[in-house]
Structure 1
Amino acid sequence: MAAFKISGYTILVGAGGGIGTELGASFAEAGSRGVLFGDINYDAAVKAAEGSKSVAIAKDYKAVAVKVDVTNAKSVQEMVDLAVKEFGRIDYVVNAAGVDGRKNVPFDQADVADFDRVFDINAKSILYVTQSVAKVMKAQESAKVDLGRHGVKDLGRGSIVNISSILGISALPNKVAYITSKHAVGGLTRACAVDYKSLGIRCNQVCPSWVDTPMSHEEYNRIPHLRGLIEQLPAAGRLIAPYEVASACLYLCTPAAYYINGSTLTLDSCVLVGPAVPAVE
């Protein structure tokens, strides 16, 4: 179905991690003509970029890797400038860079320096990236797509997706830095959507629970009973696969999601809706 395919150019921030690698593959196999893989770990970005080439469907697909420090506005601007140089325009941006606090401790014991580190990577980076890409998107022509029986439609000037967490709309004990930073992602997402909706730029956030990445496995070490709680989730009973997060981000960039703006898509197996108790058959 044409409404679930893409054809523009993509920037992936935090592209060297588990979710980032899946994002690259997902956007390439959905039709993106070019993807820029940005990560603080350049080797990981190169590996993800090379891996995406084997699944890309666009004949002229181009994968570019770049080292970026998302806490540095100059480094972010250089990444965006490179994308414009390589692709000519930017249609989709996914902010996937993220870290956890170094320790789970009560609120009054939180280390301020670590709080700043987490906030800078998880939240302030989104400000830097969005400011830079919005200037490009505002200046470019709206994209068009042929949806066959639905005709040619206007896609707007771009789609931005921020990966947050269910801890961006809820809370657990002893994680003030991570929780605060992820709540800020929601504010950044809505502020961006409101400021740019009349210009055809959409901004949404994806809030997954525990994803099968090194960060979640480290959380198992910090919270020994967490694995058991996840396995008790009636609808899933497992961690979220990185490709499932990537699929949600991809959907928000497709023509099918054109009317979704300033919204939150949760991936949590009903955790926030109610307690994990078995259904009565």
Structure 2
Amino acid sequence: MQENTMAWLFLLPSLIFLILFTLYPIIKTVYLSFFQSDLSTDRPIYVGLTNFKMMLEDEVFRKAFINNFWFAVGTIPTSVMLGMLLAILVNRKIKGTSLARTAFFYPVVIPMVSAAFIWLFFYTPEYGMINKLLHLLGIGDLNLLGNSSTVLIAIIVMVIWKEAGFFMIFYLAALQNIPKELLEASHIDGASKWMQFWKIVFPLLMPTTLFSVVIATTNAFKTIDQLVVMTQGGPNNASNLLLYYIYESTFRFMDYGKAATATVVVLVIMIVIAAIQFFGTDRKIHYS
């Protein structure tokens, strides 16, 4: 009994922060989603599911939802797979490996706003680095951030560059924990490098892959910093994502009921995706 009491006392500070900064905001947001709360009302007015109906009819929300879907499709598998490939590349004991690890990980430590300004310089028409290279090749200017068909791809490329090194660290740690006896035994049995990777290394990396995919999915639905700096959701909402939609609804239009409703939708999406990943994929992973 005394041990249980001490354990709960040690957990109490964390529980307080969890309740104040996680559980309470979630409950408050769900509650506010059933109310009209904007500049036209002195106090919140209960409207039931009207906010959800209006949001589904909102073309900007639908556009942000579709953009976020393609943004997730473009960033999650590519960032995770690239992180795995980089980890395999720098896991070798060759000269320059430490320098390569530092170079690949360096984008991770750069603040997102700073990274956005760096890539804004790359993408800027006329004097941006990409257009300078295109001029050398005799190709005209490309306004990647000003074109509706290319802006989302440009943002995806920047995010992949930013996240791949982060996942590389986890894969590198997982690779170094793989027993070398397994690889040596398979080599003696005549297994090729590809067979070693596919039959031994890749299955043992699956727990890390699951973790990385969950983190990448979370990141895909909380992207906002680079949008504020680089595009502000434009042109014509072509780069508008769900979190930026919530940000605009809250701080630009002061429509707190609408913002809360969109937040609830994002929260439900994240819970569903996490449940599918854990309860669907986790059964196929062996941790032993």
**TM-score in same-fold range (> 0.5):** no
**Which one scores higher on RCO, CA 8 angstroms, separation ≥ 6?**
2
TM-score band, normalised by shorter chain? under 0.3
Larger radius of gyration: 2
Q: Which of the pair is proportionally richer in strand? A: 1
TM-score for the superposition, normalised by structure 1 = 0.25
Q: Which of the pair is proportionally richer in helix? A: 2
TM-score for the superposition, normalised by structure 2 = 0.25
